[in-house]
Structure formats: structure tokens, C-alpha cells
Chains A and B, each alone.
Chain A
């Protein structure tokens, strides 16, 4: 009996290894390299295939044993019925989180010094917060209203380009541009939302994807306006409400009698995006308690029932599109001022996919889940940048960014298989008589729009 079980495990591992061998032939086994005349020749890499096949065999065998062991164990006690966190604890966690976010850059500077903390504040802090904000914006469209938008990056691009053009051509200040960029993006949201309102489900997804791509292609090709692939550079830098972050007597540091560090601007940008993100969160939480927010959720649950109650579903959908776009537009303007330049390459489909995966992994509709997912996805992908170190071992032909994206892709697959409905998969009621009981995810519709 035991040997039989062992044999079958070896067999299964052998099959996995065989499949791996077939999959890696020829794409891994041979490398089509180009010689100097741009002719192709093949270079074999059988050792690599052997490693892959052997690795698959061993991993599969191990996992078979682990599964068998787990099956052998007495079934774990039936899972405790999930007790939602009480609203009070929820608020406490929320405030603690905000406190930590406010303290983060100062703590980083304190611990790592102005130079060492730059990476943490900029690459991790600001980058993650931008995606938190974008995730919250898209959450309104996808999570609350249940409209699947695969072209959300278009509004982000509109906001960024709007700032770039207003700031360089007209010389308007960032603070004036910020709401204007949001408004322009919201108008785009309305313009794009209107024709696609009748579409449902995957049709809506593909048309929004198409609009997103069209926006990018226009940005590439309308060189007179956007300067094409080269993008618009030398955007004016952020100021402290008019006071520049420069070294001179006019600068922020001397104005407030502080020692000058270049990182002051970065810290300011961090607090700015934190404030914008928190504002987005506040807006969403507030909207959820207003008729508009409730009707978005009702729309996700059942559009026909909404219509039978006399609800103007067109207005509800358009408002979700417009508010989602407004948030993306503001985030876009921030992105532009932070980068100092905009180019179409920042607004590819991959951005839309990333934002959508933050929303889905976070648990559609959940604000807190979005933050966790953004930290996991963006933080994780930033962390993978550290793979650059490996270049020293593997030589210059090793391109870490490809490994990074490869792992990001695999992680998306793995995370969806792990938690298909996201990290935080309960819904908090927007209003209650006695006690807010979290609604189980199985009951929540995902919307057909």
C-alpha cells in the first residue's frame, strides 16, 4: 500500500516533469540569437531545461507528499464563522494606519538619513499612495457600481497631460491646475461613459479597454499637442503653495529657517499625495452613506430592480464614471508634477490592469482591502526592483525588469487562485438600525455592467 502510494506519486511527478520538458522545448532549449548580419542562429541551452525539468520533478514530488500528509491529518475543526471586526476596532485600525502613514517619512528620515530614506519615501511611499488613490477611484466604478472598466488609465493620462499642457503652455500653477485637471478628466469620463452605458459586462470591459488604448495612441501620434513618444518634459516643480523648494533665500528651507535638504520636496509630495488619497477615501465613505453611493451598490446588485424603483440608472452610472475619472485625473496631475515629465509609455494597458488587480485583490468595494492590495502589489513589485543586485552576479545581459514583470504576472495568477474575491471580502452596510453586520461575500453581486 505504501509503496503503491509512493509509486503513484513518483509517476505523477514524472508526468509533471515530462510536461515541463515538452513546454520548455523549444522555447527554453534553444535561444534564437542574432549574429552581426542580423541573421538568426540557434544556441542550445539544454542544461537550463534539465534544471527546469528536474526542479519540476522534485517540487511536484514534494508537493504530493505534503498533500498526502495534509489529507492524512484529521480534518481541521470546521472554520469558525467569521466575526467581522467591530466598527470601533475598525475605526481604531484606520486611525492607527493614518497615523503610521503620517509618521512614515519622518521616521524614515530619522532612521536612514535624508539620502538613504529617499528611496523609501519616493519609490515605496509615494508610488504606493498614488496607486491607493487610483485604486480607490476605480473602486467606485468597479467595486461599488459594478461597471468593469479596463481603460481607467485613460483618465489618469488625461489628468497628467492636462497638467503638463496647462503648466508649460499657459504657465498655470499646480494648485490651480489640480482641480482643473480633475474636472477635465471627469468630462472625459462623461464623454466616454455616455456611449458605453448600454453595454454590459465584458462588452463594457473591451470598449473601455479600446478607449484606453485610443487615448494612448492619440498621445503617441498627436505630436503637435503631446510631442509624441518623447513626451512633455521640464514641467514646473511643485512649490510649497508658491514657495519653491530651492536652496536660495527664496526657498522653502530658508523661509521656514530649516536646514536645506533636497528631500524636503519629496516629503512634501508624500504628504500631498497622502492628503489627496485621504480626501478620496473621505469622499467615497461619505458618498456611500448618501443616496448616490447607495444607488451605485444597488445598481451592482440588480439594475432591473433599480429601474422598477424609478431610479435613473443612466445618471447613476455616469456619475460613477465621472467621479472615478475625476479622482484619476487628480492623481494624474500629481503624477505629472512628481515625475516632471509625461510620456505615453506611462499610460499603457498594464497600468489599467495593475489598478484593476488592486481593486479586485483588495476585495471589490473594500477601501481597506485596496490599501493592503496596493502595498502588496506595488510594494512587492518595487521590492522586486531590488533584483537589480542580481545583475552583478549574472552579468549585464541579465535584465531584472523582465524577471520582475514575470514574477508580477505569476503573482497575479497565484493571488487570484488564492483569494478570488479579494483580501477583504465582506461588505459593511451603509446604514443600520441596531448593529452593522458585515455582509458575506457570497451574497454580494459583482454587477453585470
Chain B
């Protein structure tokens, strides 16, 4: 039946009923926790009652009959004659589903379905005859309201037992424990069913109107920014005052309107216990869902956007994460699995953590799967940290195949989860310990429309960098810039507190064509330290302006191809500035390496992406005998320089005091006898004053690898061209047209037995 044929009265009935039914799902969830909450019970009763009334009027007899029995049960629950038990919830939920089914049939076919609902109706009427429930006791109400302590009540009850004939309330008043009016209040609460209804304090507003208001406020913020900028240069006391007031009011208005669009995350979560309940019943699992921070608010559009990813993660956790009761008991865990949803605000972002105490993500299986799918190379698999392996489940390579479900667990459509979350400027990662459980961490912005951003410029062009990605700002004077930016083979890095920070020049990555001028003409250099996909890098810009709230405007379709921009905004002077998508820019600059590389759905790019996915960033250095050697940069914690004089000896081992611990130093010659060279010396001919040391910290303990000179950082394919059988060398690769030996640093450390209890499965905490 097409839309214009639907009777307007029926149409209205459908809309109203759907809306009320959505509310019911939430209500039942709350009810499971507070089975005697009368406000909710009467709300549910009203909804069903309304549907029953209207369906009778419109002549939908099946709907009327079904809702009639439901109403009877609900009315007893509301009046406290019955108390809600699980069986009733199941039956009532089934009734809600059936009502939806009938409504759906009315909407599409114009009539009630053929299905027979007698059985459900019979179940509902059977439940009607269950044992009646007592009214809440006055004493309990008083305790609940904090007017009396359980001890007071117990004393009063004891008094009744020993012959005092007065009611509990009067005993308490007589003892002076509570005031008369509190008892009256408790009594009236005992009798009456509901307090103030929500309808008195809230109204319903069309979301379209709120969106429009939000847009207008955005415009107002722009106009405000313009006026503020103008008045700051044309100061006239009165105008300045007025503009300050305008500025303040605008900010408050902006905040207020944004709040109207805020919804507690509970609105999405409330659907999850039902999902978990249904799913766990069908997989014969027992799962308890706990929620913390339900009231955490975020923008409505974001709530919509995270609904599916969230449901997906939760479903996955039930399906593959939490084990069956038998397996759990065998593993020494409680029979019932626990899933914890936790939301909280932090640093202008909303954090959602979904953790379960299930089986975790099996590293070896994921690794095997990734190798099979060609997502990683065998060399990468060797050197990857467990955590990186587990995060491979977000890789597109894991998504399509259904058989992944029974092989590696998590991973069906997880790439969609990640791309959906990243689409709204958020991020997701997983931490998991095999056999103990998994934790998914989602971070999303509070709102999308207005974001704080840092304005930077290069030449005349201004760009906005979302503050979410910003870590810190570093300003280098001319002298400092020369000393600290090491730029070998065209890959610049800066030692930020001793740690290597890869640098990207804004003018180069955007091909602004003013490359050399920036360095030559200005006497300082600005590095904006950014983080994208958990990696830090520095963006070199010529000027840093202030940070401000910017209104994000989408770009036209013709600009969507360029993933370096997240949108545009209008600056105080009315000019447009582009907002930089840091993730996109980092990718364009080749900053995100190897396993984190996001595979694109774009099939045309498949070949080039694969090629790129095989690459890893390597630290190249000169070893003894002028040999070129390399190790993956991910293994490098820091690069340090020590004075020769600070190196001490402990037994036969060279050590140096480093960060309050004694760090053993490895001479490459010690590990590779064929590379043994003349011992270094701090005296005499050819004396060296400083030693370059690559710090490697497996398991939090540091080891220093002494090298002659740091040469370069290059991104290269890790394909070993000539595998080696020598201990300590993984093989040789050709880097920048020169043969370079790839050191097996973890292997060397292990073979020299420098660290107590060396872990065979080393982790690369870079």
C-alpha cells in the first residue's frame, strides 16, 4: 500500500505507536534492574493502553486482543499486586515484538497479519495468576529516602513484636526518629503510584529545527568572530564593551544549543542488554552486562553514528569473546561472563570502553590468518608486537570471509567498525590478553559541528588543525634548528627529548612550492607535534596563530578525492581556511607504516596499497668496519649520545648510567665476531669523545647498541633479499641502492644474555 493510500488516522496511529514502542525497549531494560519502579510500569501501561484503545477504535481485533491481556498484566504490576519476574519480562518483550509485527503488517499490507497470537496471549494470562506482591513497606520507603536507618526500623518492628500496637510510622515518630510529615509522605508514596510525569517538564522538538538552530548558531559564531576581530583593531570603548557582551552571549547560546542536541549514551546502550540477552540465549552463554557512565552525553548525530559500530563490537564479544559456561568453568572463571560498558569524558572527547572477560584474541591465529590473507609478510609477523597483531582485526583483509568467525574469532566486519568510527573523527583500538579478555577503546569527539582548532599558516594560506590531533608545539631558533633537525637522505627527523620525531613540511606535503624559502628566510622554525593513528609526527609550518573554535563546513563533492582535508571553515576576516585531516595528511606523507596501514576499499588502488603495506621504517646506521646496518625503527626507544668518559665497566661488560639504571652496552663486534674491529678508546690517536647509542627497551629494560654513526631513517620493503644463517643477522636488504645488513637486535640481546629472564616473545615498545 503506497503512502497516500494510508488513512491519515492510521498513519498517525502508526507513528505514535512506533515512537512509544521504542521507549518501551528502554523501559523494560530499566525495569530488569528496578522491577518495582512504578513510574516506568505506568509508562509502559499507558503505552499499551493507548495502543489497545486506538486499535479497538480502528477495528484491529488481533492487536486489541493481544494488548488487552498485556494491559491486564501490566496493570497488576503497576498496582503492585504482582512483581516483575524474568518470565514476565520475556513474555512482555515478546508482546512488544508482536505488536511491532502487527503494526508493520498494517503499514505495509494495510491489514493485520495471518499469524495467530493466542499462545502468547495465553502465556500472558497465565502469568496474571501468579502470587500477589505486597505493597512496599513504610519502613523501606523511609530507609530509601534516608529518613531512618535500618536499625531504627528493626527496633520499631521489634517493638511491634513485643506488643506495641501502633503502626511502624507512629512508633518512629514517638521515638523521635522521624518527623510526622516524613511518615505522611511515605504513606502517600506507598499509596500513590507515580510522581511528577516527565511530560510536565519537557517538550518534543523536531530534530530538523534543532539542526537549523545549530546552523544559525554556527553563523552567529562566525559573525561574532568577525566583529571581535574588527573591534580589536578599531577600539572604541562602547563598541568593545558591546562586542565583548556579544561574544559572551554567543558562547553561552552556542553551548545551550549544543546541549539541546546532547543525548546520554544510555539511549544507545539501553538497546544492548536486549541484544546481549537474545544472542547469549541463542549461543547458550551466560552474560551479565554492566554499565558505567550511562549519563555521558554526546551529540545526537554522533549517537546515531556509533550505534552500529557499538552493537557490532558487543555482538562480537558475545559471539566470539565470551566462552560457553562449560569452557569458562574449566578455565577457572565464573560461569557467567561479564561485559562492561564504560563511558566518560576526557580531554574534550568521549571515551567508550567495552571490555569482556572472555577468551581474548588469539595472537597466533590472527597472525596465521593475516599471513594467509597476505595482510602482513612473514618478516613482519616475526617482529610484530602482540598488540599490533590483535589490532589487525580491524584490517579490511579480515572482514569479508565468514569463515573467520570460526577460525580467529573477532574480525567480521571490524574494518567497517573502524571506518565508521574514523568517519566521525574518532578512533578505536583493542587490547586483549589471551584467556583473560578483550577491551575495545573508542574515542570520539563531543560534537562535529564546532571544534577547537589551531590555526597555522604557510605563506599566505591558513590552515586549521583540529586540536584533537595536537600534542605540543615546538619552536626552534635558527641555531637550534640547524643543530637539531637531522636531515639525512631527505628524511628529516627531530630529536624531541631524545626521541626521534619524523618531520613533515606543510609546504612539501601540500606541494605549495615554497619549500626552501621557509627555512632560509625565517629565523625560527615551528614544529606542530601531532598524533595520528597512535603515531606522532611533527608538521613544520612557518607560522602558528592562535587556537579558536571553528565551525566545520563540508567541502563539495569535487574535493572529496583529496583526503588531506576534513572540511573548511570561515575565519574572522571572512576568508575560507581549509581544515586539515591529520590522518589523511600522515598517510599522504607516508608517515603511517606497515601494519597500521589502512587498506582502502577502492579496488583500483589494491596493487599500490599492497606494495605500501609491505614497507617498514628502518633506522640505518654505520657499524664497525664501515658496514651499513639497519634495524626496524619500531624497536628503537631512543637515540642517545654518551661521553666516552661516562662509560664504565662492570665485569667484562661495558655499562653506562642511564635514567637511574645501569644500561649494558652492546658492541656490534661482540655479537658479530666477523665484524670485530679494533677496540674503541678514549685516548690517543683517533680518540672518540662521544659514542652513539641506540636504546632498545624490551620489557621495560634498556640495552644500548653502540653504533659508529646514525645514517638515516628510510621506509623500505622488508623483503630480505639474502637471508642469513649468521646469528644476529636477519639478512641483507638493499636500501638506497646499498647493501645493508638487517640486525636481529632481539636475537642479539637474547644471545648475549644481558637481561635477566629474557622473554622469547619480545615486545617492541617503541
Do these two chains interact?
no
Interface residues of B (CB under 8 A from A): none
